[in-house]
Amino acid sequence: MSVFKSLVKKETIHILRDRRTMLITILMPVVLLLLFGFAISTEVNDVRVVAVVDRHTDMSRDLLQRFEVNDYFTFLGLADPADVDRILRSGMTDAAVFIRTHGERLVTQIVVDASNTTTARAMTGYIDGVINHSKPDDLVLTQTLYNPRMKSAYNFVPGILGMIFILICAIMTSVSIVREKESGTMNLLLVSPVRPHTIILGKLVPYFILSCVILAIMLIMSYTVLDLPSSPSVISVVLVSLIYIILALSIGLLVSTIVSTQITALIVSAVMFMLPVIMLSGMIFPVGNMPLLLQGVSCIIPARWYVEAMRKLMIQQLDISYISTEITILLSMTVILLALAVAKFKSSTR
Amino acid sequence: MKSNVEKVISVSNLTKRFGSFTAVDHISFDVCRGEIFGFLGANGAGKTTAMRMLCGLSRPTEGNGRVAGCDILTQTEMIKRHIGYMSQKFSLYSELTVDENIRLFSTIYSMTDVQIMEASSRLYAELGMESMRRTRVSDIPVGWRQKLAFATATIHRPDIVFLDEPTGGVDPVTRRKFWEHIYKASSEGMTIFVTTHYLDEAEYCDRVSIMVDGCISALDSPAALKRKYHADTIDEVFRIVASEAKRDE
Amino acid sequence: MTPAIEISGVTKRYGSLTALDNVSLSVSRGEMFGLIGPDGAGKSSLYRILATLLSPDSGYARIDGLDSVADYRRLRSIIGYMPEKFSLYPDLTVSENLEFFASLFGVSVDDNFDLIESVFSQLRQFPDRKAGALSGGMKQKLALSCALIHRPRILLLDEPTTGVDAVSRSEFWDILSTLRDKGITIVVSTSYMDEATRCQRIAMIDNGRILDVDTPRRLISRLDENLFNASSSDMFSLLNHLRSMPEVIDCYTFGATLHVVGREDFNPDKAMDFLSHSGLPDVRIYPAKGDIEDLFIKLTRYEEQC
């Protein structure tokens, strides 16, 4: 036991003395959370709109008025249909609304500058909301519908967690093991009577603890700063996260047995694990919107299942029974990867 | 000392302090063109710091001097064009081929394509390495690698070449072959400034200096030093001089 | 009594490269045994086999009667290994490094402090300095302390003095002598031939084969060569001139002089005349006594010609 303790102590010193890395690993998730939560919100303000009206009626006037009084819009006025294309191109407006009166009904067409698809989608949604709402006091309703601040903030929590655990467990662990291979200290550890699995456990435990600390910070922040409604699902959140942390540690170990320099460890972990987490886990781009092939690929990415499970637990406030598929997949991935990593490590040491 | 008295290195009172620690303490010396100058000293005596100042990589706290005709305080960029540098720790990119290394170093010294062509064909002829052009440096034997490292460090025909422990951990045969290259370069007028822990190599130098605790404690030809200290070898001289060291680390 | 180390017919290949080719050696208990050979001769592979980090393709290595493959776990507390690069944790302090390595072997620093006391004495002044901030000589002493802290019976040192200055090197060898006096068997490799003569026996190794094993004195006495010193005030020309003479087998720098290996028909007086007439100043040629370095050069003369 004391050998194990001193291995953990030594590894902890490595982590703590490397101030810069330490700072990044603790600060990065917090900053990301706040950034996604408050600065980068998917909500769009001050959409500039022009209108093209063929015949002024009560209905069309009413609609235009709704745009004028809505805080989300800056109504620029009426435009000539021939000019719309030019105005949009010049960037003077974000959208144009064509309003035609057919008897008793208004027919509308929305033209949006979609050079940024995300804002275009949001703008269309807003405009749609204004048009399809007949009551003039729809302002209140718009706000409830698009109360995106808090919601988009904790929407990102699962994704950030999924990424940060890969960073700490997979990247930092593999780099730290490979560093010992490069410097030759691994040989000294191996020629001592300490068993290889103790060496490995001594390497993994500090990173596991570090991950737990970060998980705690993130959860506390989500439930306080981001006002995530607390519920009994917290326990499930922790449970799923622990499985995922162990999974990420196995990835780190596996990478470290395959590569031989710190820089390749970094690149392999980053390209093979970090990028897919960001691109394919559904953290930013919904999995359902991806081409079928990529959806298939996303199935083998652990973060996809983790993010999905966390969304269900944290945002939809669902019970753990709803995520049995995700848990089963994550658990089997963990078992397979861990077994593979340990076997690989053993064969590489003797 | 060689009859030619043109001084390519001339420094006086060169000093470098790091906080309260004086790594190099008022050293003054001259090195003549074509000379092989051995720069000896115990680990931590200040050799590396002194050498960095001479190469224009580190600014002296005090003192001044000229290296290859350039002022070490104001013309550091000029110095770098007129010197070559080789160390045991790094000298070649092992994942590049022989040819790629030569090209790279020639380009670093801003040689023109024509000059590179000339230099590399001269170099291959001299080293007899034509057949290894496309071989990766990691795959060629140590002896060849050393020759190549020296050749690339001097590809731009510098006035002075600084060799920082060029033969560390190298077997006696390979070391000797390397020194023959040094001899040859020196006979062609190149000045060699070399550090080593193999004191038999110090015997091959025209003059040697021994640094102790940041100061130069002895400086003369090997024969004169041996006479002065009543010793048979430079190894003995070194032990006598270095035993005066007080600095523990 | 079984020998401390017994290596028999050990072969190790990496792909097409044969690192060790049917190597057999025996090292007695309490012996200081030197391994000498050029880079890539196979020394490091041999060390890795002895340190139980590598299994031989064929043959066996027994240390203290234990097989390096089958009994590797028991062996690991018997051997102390210092690899070619000083392997310490640069971000850990002097005492943290020492305590860590002690704990790996389940001992405390105090238990075996008497053994490392002489090595560690200088380091004691700065227990809280990071290992990465130590000078070469000090790092090497700390590495040796760490390799000794579990009181190994056999010490494996792979080029421990590379990059270390002459004074620190001889201190280091003094320490090794006291360790040997305490009964520790030491296997040490070096590229400094003057150090090799401090070993009781030396093995010359090249291209994965043992060329010769014996005491330094007997090895030198076997150096049956017509050896001369040569000097001139223009040594480089002298070297080239001597090499071009047909009765000279080999000529190489040797400290302040050149060593000339002559054929039977080599006549120093005649050579001196010839060289003086060729315009070389102050030529002197006189008989020389060979040492390990000459032997090494002789043994590897026909290997790599570059």
- Per domain, the residue ranges of chain B are 7-242
| Domain end (from A82, A115, A145) | A145
Contacts A–C by Cβ distance under 8 A: 67
Do the chains contact at A183 and C85, CB–CB below 8 Å?
Answer: yes
Instruction: List, for residues C66-105, the tens digit of each pLDDT value.
Output: 999 999 889 998 999 998 877 889 999 999 999 999 999 9
Same domain, C201 and C280: no
Q: For chain B (length 249 residues), average pLDDT per consecutive 10?
A: 72 92 93 94 88 90 92 88 81 84 84 86 83 85 83 89 87 86 89 92 92 93 93 91 74
- Is C45 a residue whose pLDDT tops 80? yes
Measured CA to CA, the distance from residue C166 to residue B129 in angstroms comes to: 35
Residue of A108 and C248 predicted with greater confidence: C248
Do the chains contact at B43 and C134, CB–CB below 8 Å?
Answer: no
**Number of domains chain C is built from:** 2
Measured CA to CA, the distance from residue C189 to residue C293 in angstroms comes to: 14
Measured CA to CA, the distance from residue A231 to residue A46 in angstroms comes to: 36
Same domain, A248 and A339: yes
pLDDT confidence bin for A148, thresholds 50/70/90: very low
**Number of domains chain A is built from:** 2
Of all residues in chain C, the percent with pLDDT exceeding 70 is 98
| Domain end (from A98, A125, A145) | A145
Same domain, C82 and C211: yes
B189: contact with C, CB 8 A cutoff: no
Q: Which residue among C134, C170, C193 sits closest to B172, beta carbon to beta carbon?
A: C193
pLDDT of residue A154: 64
Residue of B163 and A116 predicted with greater confidence: B163
Residue of C96 and A151 predicted with greater confidence: C96
Measured CA to CA, the distance from residue B151 to residue B102 in angstroms comes to: 9
- Give me the helix-helix angle, A302-310 and A233-258, nearest 10°: 170
First-to-final CA distance of chain A: 23
Q: Are C42 and C23 in contact (CB under 8 A)?
A: yes
pLDDT of residue A136: 45
Measured CA to CA, the distance from residue C27 to residue B105 in angstroms comes to: 48
B19: contact with C, CB 8 A cutoff: no
Do the chains contact at B198 and C192, CB–CB below 8 Å?
Answer: yes
Measured CA to CA, the distance from residue A36 to residue A225 in angstroms comes to: 13
pLDDT confidence bin for A168, thresholds 50/70/90: confident
Closest CA relative to residue B49, chosen from B14, B91, B13: B14
Q: Which of A162-176, A268-282, B39-53, B114-128 has the lowest mean pLDDT?
A: A268-282
Q: Is C162 a domain residue? A: yes
- Strand order in C201-206's β-sheet? C79-82, C154-157, C185-189, C32-36, C201-206, C209-214
C85: contact with A, CB 8 A cutoff: yes
Residue of A31 and B30 predicted with greater confidence: B30
Measured CA to CA, the distance from residue B187 to residue B34 in angstroms comes to: 7
pLDDT of residue C177: 94
Q: Is C306 a domain residue? A: no
C81: contact with A, CB 8 A cutoff: yes
Do the chains contact at C253 and B172, CB–CB below 8 Å?
Answer: no
pLDDT of residue A143: 39
Residues from chain C that touch A18, judged by Cβ atoms under 8 A, are 91
Q: Do chain B and chain A touch with ≥3 beta carbon pairs under 8 Å?
A: no
| Domain end (from A96, A119, A145) | A145
Do the chains contact at B169 and C239, CB–CB below 8 Å?
Answer: no
Same domain, C190 and C235: no
Of A148-157, C130-139, C160-169, C178-187, highest mean pLDDT: C178-187
- 3-class DSSP assignment, residue C80: strand
Measured CA to CA, the distance from residue C192 to residue A213 in angstroms comes to: 52
Q: How many helices (H) and strands (E) does chain C have?
A: 11, 14
Kindly state the DSSP code that residue C123 receives in the 8-state scheme.
G
Kindly state the DSSP code that residue B247 receives in the 8-state scheme.
-
- Please, is A108 exposed, middle or buried when counting C-beta atoms within 10 Å of its C-beta (0-12, 13-18, 19+)? middle
pLDDT of residue C156: 95
Which residue is associated with the tokens 């995700």?
A: A326
pLDDT of residue A86: 86
Of all residues in chain A, the percent with pLDDT exceeding 70 is 89
Question: Which CATH superfamily does the domain covering B7-242 fall into?
Answer: P-loop containing nucleotide triphosphate hydrolases (3.40.50.300)
Residues from chain B that touch C164, judged by Cβ atoms under 8 A, are 43, 197
Q: Is C303 a domain residue? A: no
Span C219-230, mean pLDDT? Answer: 87
Do the chains contact at A3 and C88, CB–CB below 8 Å?
Answer: no
Distance from CA of C18 to the nearest CA of B (A): 15
Tell me the whole-structure pTM to 2 decimals: 0.78
pLDDT of residue A350: 53
Q: Which residue among C39, C134, C301 sits closest to B142, beta carbon to beta carbon?
A: C39
Which residue is associated with the tokens 């850990």?
A: C92
Which residue is associated with the tokens 């057999």?
A: C24
Measured CA to CA, the distance from residue C292 to residue C190 in angstroms comes to: 12
pLDDT of residue B32: 93
Return all residues near B241 (Cβ < 8 A) that are at least 6 apart. B210, B212, B217, B218, B229
Kindly state the DSSP code that residue C200 receives in the 8-state scheme.
S
Q: Is C105 a domain residue? A: yes
Closest CA relative to residue B161, chosen from B139, B178, B144, B143: B178
Residue of C155 and A142 predicted with greater confidence: C155
Q: Is C300 a domain residue? A: no
Same domain, C118 and C151: yes
pLDDT confidence bin for A260, thresholds 50/70/90: confident
Residue of A70 and A339 predicted with greater confidence: A339
- 3-class DSSP assignment, residue C291: coil
Contacts B–C by Cβ distance under 8 A: 108
Return all residues near A176 (Cβ < 8 A) that are at least 6 apart. A11, A14, A203, A207
Same domain, C119 and C132: yes
Distance from CA of C253 to the nearest CA of B (A): 7
Measured CA to CA, the distance from residue A198 to residue A204 in angstroms comes to: 10
pLDDT of residue A133: 65
**Distances C83 to A218, A299, C130 between C-alpha atoms, Å:** 44, 45, 20
Measured CA to CA, the distance from residue B204 to residue B221 in angstroms comes to: 10
Q: Which residues of chain A approach chain C closer than 8 Å at the C-beta? A: 2-3, 5-7, 9-10, 13-14, 17-18, 183-185, 187-194, 350
The tokens describing C39, both together, are 């880079």
C153: contact with A, CB 8 A cutoff: no
Same domain, C216 and C247: no
Which domain, by its residues, includes C239?
Answer: 224-289
- Is C306 a residue whose pLDDT tops 80? no
Q: Which residue among A3, A18, A190 sits closest to C106, beta carbon to beta carbon?
A: A3
- Is A5 a residue whose pLDDT tops 60? yes
CATH number of the structural domain spanning residue C11? 3.40.50.300
pLDDT confidence bin for A223, thresholds 50/70/90: confident
Instruction: List, for residues C110-165, the tens digit of each pLDDT value.
Output: 988 998 988 888 888 889 999 988 887 888 899 999 999 999 999 999 999 888 88
Beta bridge partners of B65: B11
Do the chains contact at C85 and A192, CB–CB below 8 Å?
Answer: no
How much is the mean pLDDT over chain A?
81
Closest CA relative to residue C79, chosen from C4, C182, C178, C171: C4
Beta bridge partners of B161: B84, B192
Q: Are A334 and A247 in contact (CB under 8 A)?
A: yes
Residue of C299 and B23 predicted with greater confidence: B23
The tokens describing A224, both together, are 């306080």
C88: contact with A, CB 8 A cutoff: yes
CATH number of the structural domain spanning residue A110? 3.40.1710.10
Chain C residue nearest residue A4, CA to CA: C104
Q: Which residue among C39, C126, C167 sits closest to B171, beta carbon to beta carbon?
A: C39
Q: Is C183 a domain residue? A: yes
Measured CA to CA, the distance from residue C259 to residue C294 in angstroms comes to: 8
Residues from chain A that touch C146, judged by Cβ atoms under 8 A, are 188
Kindly state the DSSP code that residue C133 receives in the 8-state scheme.
G
Q: Are A187 and A347 in contact (CB under 8 A)?
A: no
Distance from CA of A169 to the nearest CA of C (A): 21
Kindly state the DSSP code that residue B136 receives in the 8-state scheme.
B
Measured CA to CA, the distance from residue C89 to residue C131 in angstroms comes to: 7
Tell whether the torsion through CA atoms of C298, C300, C303 and C306 is positive or negative.
Answer: negative
Same domain, A116 and A211: no
Q: Are A298 and A290 in contact (CB under 8 A)?
A: yes
Of A75-84, A165-174, B8-17, highest mean pLDDT: B8-17
Measured CA to CA, the distance from residue A84 to residue A80 in angstroms comes to: 7
pLDDT of residue A330: 92
Span A96-122, mean pLDDT? Answer: 81
Same domain, A293 and A200: yes
- Is A140 a residue whose pLDDT tops 90? no
**Most C-contacting residue of A14, A180, A186, A192 (CB-CB within 10 A), to test interface:** A192
Do the chains contact at C104 and A193, CB–CB below 8 Å?
Answer: yes
Residue of C194 and A228 predicted with greater confidence: C194
Instruction: List, for residues A313-338, the tens digit of each pLDDT value.
Output: 887 778 888 888 999 999 999 999 98
pLDDT of residue C179: 93
Instruction: List, for residues A206-221, the tens digit of each pLDDT value.
Output: 999 999 999 999 888 8
**Distances B152 to A335, B83, B214 between C-alpha atoms, Å:** 53, 12, 31
Same domain, C173 and C249: no
Same domain, A64 and A168: no
Same domain, A228 and A317: yes
pLDDT of residue A207: 92
Q: Are strands B21-32 and B7-18 parallel, antiparallel or unpaired?
A: antiparallel
- Is A35 a residue whose pLDDT tops 60? yes
Do the chains contact at B173 and C306, CB–CB below 8 Å?
Answer: no
Span A163-174, mean pLDDT? Answer: 86
Residues from chain C that touch B243, judged by Cβ atoms under 8 A, are 167
